[in-house]
């Protein structure tokens, strides 16, 4: 028994301990799992497991065919959805960060203020979207424009809370004695904010965005359901499902997944670059 185990360790474990191999493994295993699911899906084994048929869960081949046939149409809908998600996310994050700074500067009011933000965060998107659609009726005589504003507002509101909570922690949970050190230097509130609090909050911003990015995509998709102007991936999913066009709906569902994955991927890359610099600094 013992020699056998030794040999195992020699071959497999040594390979496994290699950091490059480990890096590759984190990439390879999820991809292999994805390929396995696709194979099960295409061969309808997945359908047996889920007790469904190829009608409600069409085969990947057919979905891809629809995507390539309608690339232009899907891309223009993707563009509309991404614009809403990105602009709303940016606006919500800036706004949320500003709230966090105010809360950090005026601590007594701040905590209660964040409570109110939390309450706003609890409003479901399906309730928020029609409110925003009605509220923006006077924004523009162009329905495409005012629908866009309404959808962006929904994403903004959803994005605010996340950023506020995380940034507030980043701005207030400082290293021990860091604040005392600043005050011993007779640093003003402003200097403490700029030199200590804001740099300290950077990793927390990314923690917030990790949650906010996927939720901004979801909010954009759902808000499209209620918008006056008919455009976007979410709206197309709904139209196709109601018309019993499941294969087409799945083409848009795949597009929605890709939007989420790509936006998350970009965030990860940016986070890697920024945090590396941050640590060095």
Partner 1 sequence: MKNLKTKVLSTVCAVAVGCGILSGCGTAVKETTAATTTAAVETTVAAAVTTAAAAETSAAATAAPAASLTNEEIVVKAAQEGKVGNWGLGNEYEIQALLMKYGQPTTYLSQAFDMDGFDDDSISLASAMTYNELGLVKNDYEGAYAYGDTVGFIDMNDEGVAMLEDNLFCNREFAESNPNTVKAFIYASMKGWEYACANPEEAAEIVFNNGSSVSAEHQAYMASEVKKLVETDVNGNAVTQIGNMDETAMQQTLDLAKQYIQLDDSVAKDNLAALTIDDIRDTSYITDAYASADGVFGDLEKTDVSIQLKWLPQAQFMGYYVALDKGFYTDAGLTVTIVPGGGDISETTAVNSGTVDFGVTWVSNLISANAGGMKLLEVAQVYQRSGLVLVYKYDSFQ
Nearer to partner 1, 138 or 279 (CB): 138
Question: 167 with 201: CB under 8 angstroms?
Answer: yes
Q: How far is the CB of 160 from partner 1 (least distance, A)?
A: 14
Nearer to partner 1, 93 or 240 (CB): 240
Q: Which residues contact residue 236 at a Cβ distance below 8 angstroms, ignoring those fewer than 6 apart?
A: 77, 248, 249, 252
Nearer to partner 1, 133 or 207 (CB): 133
Nearer to partner 1, 202 or 258 (CB): 258
Q: Which residue matches tokens 């409003």? A: 123
Q: How far is the CB of 152 from partner 1 (least distance, A)?
A: 17
Kindly report each contact of residues 1-6 with a partner whose C-beta sits within 8 Å and lies 24 or more positions away, as own/partner: none
Q: How far is the CB of 228 from partner 1 (least distance, A)?
A: 5
Nearer to partner 1, 196 or 222 (CB): 222
Q: How far is the CB of 117 from partner 1 (least distance, A)?
A: 10
Q: How far is the CB of 189 from partner 1 (least distance, A)?
A: 18
Q: How far is the CB of 153 from partner 1 (least distance, A)?
A: 13
Nearer to partner 1, 21 or 116 (CB): 116
Cα separation, 281 vs 270, in Å, equals 16
Q: Which residues contact residue 140 at a Cβ distance below 8 angstroms, ignoring those fewer than 6 apart?
A: 146, 149
Cα separation, 254 vs 251, in Å, equals 5
Q: How far is the CB of 183 from partner 1 (least distance, A)?
A: 19
Interface residues with partner 1 (CB under 8 A) are: 55-56, 62, 65-66, 69-70, 73, 108-109, 111-113, 115-116, 119-120, 123, 126-128, 130-131, 133-134, 137, 142-143, 226-230, 238-248, 251
Q: Which residues contact residue 159 at a Cβ distance below 8 angstroms, ignoring those fewer than 6 apart?
A: 88, 89, 91, 92, 93, 96, 212, 215, 216, 219
Give the sign of the dihedral formed by CA 102, CA 104, CA 105, CA 106.
positive
CA distances from 42 to 24, 45, 58, 59, 258 (A): 27, 8, 9, 5, 19
* 241: DSSP letter: H
Nearer to partner 1, 62 or 169 (CB): 62
């Amino acid at each position: 028994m013992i020699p056998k185990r030794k040999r195992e360790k020699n071959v497999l474990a040594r390979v496994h301990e290699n950091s490059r191999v480990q890096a590759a493994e984190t990439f390879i295993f999820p991809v292999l799992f994805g390929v396995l699911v696709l194979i099960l899906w295409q061969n309808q084994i997945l359908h047996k497991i889920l007790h469904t048929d190829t009608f409600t869960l069409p085969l990947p081949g057919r979905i891809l065919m629809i995507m390539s046939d309608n690339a232009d149409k899907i891309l223009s809908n993707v563009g509309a959805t991404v614009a809403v998600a990105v602009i709303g996310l940016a606006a919500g994050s800036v706004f949320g960060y500003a709230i966090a700074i105010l809360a950090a500067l005026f601590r007594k009011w701040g905590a209660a203020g964040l409570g109110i933000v939390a309450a706003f965060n609890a409003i479901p998107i399906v309730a928020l979207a029609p409110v925003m659609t009605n509220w923006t009726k006077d924004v523009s005589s162009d329905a495409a424009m005012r629908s866009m504003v309404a959808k962006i507002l929904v994403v903004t509101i959803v994005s605010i809370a996340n950023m506020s909570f995380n940034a507030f922690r980043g701005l207030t949970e400082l290293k021990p004695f860091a604040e005392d050190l600043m005050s011993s230097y007779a640093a003003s509130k402003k200097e403490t904010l700029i030199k200590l609090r804001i740099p300290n909050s950077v990793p927390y911003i990314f923690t917030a965005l990790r949650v906010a990015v996927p939720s901004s995509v979801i909010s954009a998709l759902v808000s499209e359901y209620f918008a006056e102007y008919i455009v976007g991936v979410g709206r197309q999913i709904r139209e196709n499902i109601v018309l019993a066009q499941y294969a087409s709906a799945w083409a848009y569902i795949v597009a929605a997944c890709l939007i989420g994955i790509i936006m998350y991927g970009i965030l990860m890359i940016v986070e890697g670059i920024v945090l590396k610099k941050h640590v060095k600094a």
